[in-house]
C-alpha cells in the first residue's frame, strides 16, 4: 500500500511505532513489581517492535536521525527499567545489574555521539571488523533478542518457574543458555566505547592542529 510523501518526521510510520513502544514500556514499568503477566507481555512486545520499526523505516523510505535516536533511547531506557527492577528483586547481585546499566548507557551514548561528531550517516557504519560483523542484520537481531531474553527470564523467575522440561524450569534453562551472550554483548558495548574514544580523540587532535596552524601566521606577523 502506497504511503503519501510528506516531511512531518514526527508522524512517520516507524516513529509512530516508536511511540507505541514507549507507551508499552511505561505500562510494563508500572506493573513490573506487581503483575508479571501484564509487565512481561508489554515489555516483550515493546522489545519485539524494535525490529518492526526498522523494517517500516526501510519499507517506507522513512529512516531519520530522529527515529534512530528515538529507537536508541527507547532501547536504553527499557532495558534500564528492567535492570533496576532486577536489582530490587535480586539485591545480592545489585552491583552486576548496576554495572550492566552503566555499560549499556555510557558505551552506547558515547558511540552514538561520536558517530554524529565524525559525520557518519549511521552509528552502524564502522570500519572495524568486529563492528561490521556485529551490525550485520541477523547477528544484531540475534544478540539483542538473547540479551533481552536473559533479563526477561531472570525477571520471570522471581515470580514463577514457568513450564517444566524434564523437571527443570524452562525459564532457568533459557537464562543459562542466553547468559553468556548477554556477557558477550556487554563486552561488545565496551568495545563500542573504546573505538568511539579513539575516534573522538582523533577529532580533538585534528581540531587542535588546525587551531595551531591558524594561530601560527598571526604569531609570525607580530614578530615582524
DSSP string covering 66-109, please? Answer: HHHHHHHHHHHHHHHHHHHHHHHH-GGGHHHHHHHHHHHHHHHH
Q: What is the pTM of this model?
A: 0.86
pLDDT value at residue 57: 87
Domain extents for the chain?
A: 1-75, 90-212
pLDDT value at residue 51: 85
- DSSP state for residue 60 in the 8-state scheme: T
pLDDT value at residue 54: 84
pLDDT value at residue 123: 60
- Total length of the chain: 224
Q: Which three cell numbers stand for residue 43?
A: 515489555
Contact at 8 Å (CB) between 175 and 154?
Answer: yes
> Tens-digit pLDDT profile for the chain (224 aa)?
445 567 899 999 999 999 999 999 999 999 999 999 999 999 999 999 998 988 898 888 888 889 988 999 999 999 999 999 999 999 999 999 999 999 999 999 998 889 888 877 666 666 788 888 888 888 998 999 999 999 999 999 999 999 999 999 999 999 999 999 999 999 999 999 999 999 999 999 998 998 888 887 655 555 55
Q: Which three cell numbers stand for residue 221?
A: 606577523
d(CA 47, CA 44): 5
The residues carrying an active-site annotation are 75
Q: How many helices (H) and strands (E) does the chain have?
A: 7, 2
pLDDT value at residue 1: 45
Contact at 8 Å (CB) between 33 and 85?
Answer: yes
Q: Which three cell numbers stand for residue 9?
A: 518526521
pLDDT value at residue 73: 93
User: Please, which residues have CB within 8 angstroms of residue 51's CB and are 6 or more apart in sequence?
Assistant: 141
Amino acid at each position: 500500500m502506497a504511503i503519501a510523501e510528506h516531511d512531518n518526521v514526527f508522524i512517520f510510520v516507524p516513529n509512530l511505532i516508536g511511540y507505541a513502544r514507549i507507551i508499552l514500556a511505561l505500562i510494563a514499568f508500572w506493573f513490573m513489581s506487581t503483575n508479571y503477566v501484564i509487565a512481561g507481555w508489554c515489555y516483550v512486545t515493546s522489545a519485539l517492535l524494535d525490529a518492526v520499526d526498522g523494517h517500516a523505516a526501510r519499507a517506507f523510505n522513512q529512516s531519520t536521525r530522529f527515529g534512530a535516536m528515538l529507537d536508541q533511547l527507547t532501547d536504553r531506557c527499557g532495558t534500564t527499567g528492567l535492570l533496576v527492577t532486577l536489582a530490587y528483586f535480586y539485591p545480592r547481585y545489585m552491583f552486576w545489574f548496576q554495572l550492566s546499566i552503566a555499560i549499556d548507557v555510557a558505551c552506547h551514548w558515547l558511540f552514538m555521539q561520536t558517530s554524529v561528531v565524525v559525520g557518519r550517516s549511521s552509528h552502524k557504519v564502522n570500519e572495524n571488523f568486529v563492528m561490521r560483523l556485529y551490525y550485520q542484520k541477523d547477528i544484531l537481531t540475534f544478540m539483542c533478542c538473547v540479551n533481552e531474553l536473559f533479563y526477561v527470564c531472570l525477571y520471570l523467575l522471581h515470580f514463577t518457574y514457568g513450564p517444566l522440561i524434564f523437571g527443570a524450569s524452562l525459564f532457568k534453562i533459557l537464562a543459562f543458555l542466553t547468559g553468556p551472550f548477554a556477557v558477550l554483548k556487554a563486552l561488545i558495548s565496551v568495545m563500542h566505547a573504546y573505538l568511539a574514544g579513539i575516534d573522538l580523540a582523533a577529532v580533538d587532535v585534528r581540531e587542535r592542529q588546525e587551531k595551531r596552524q591558524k594561530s601560527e601566521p598571526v604569531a609570525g606577523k607580530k614578530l615582524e
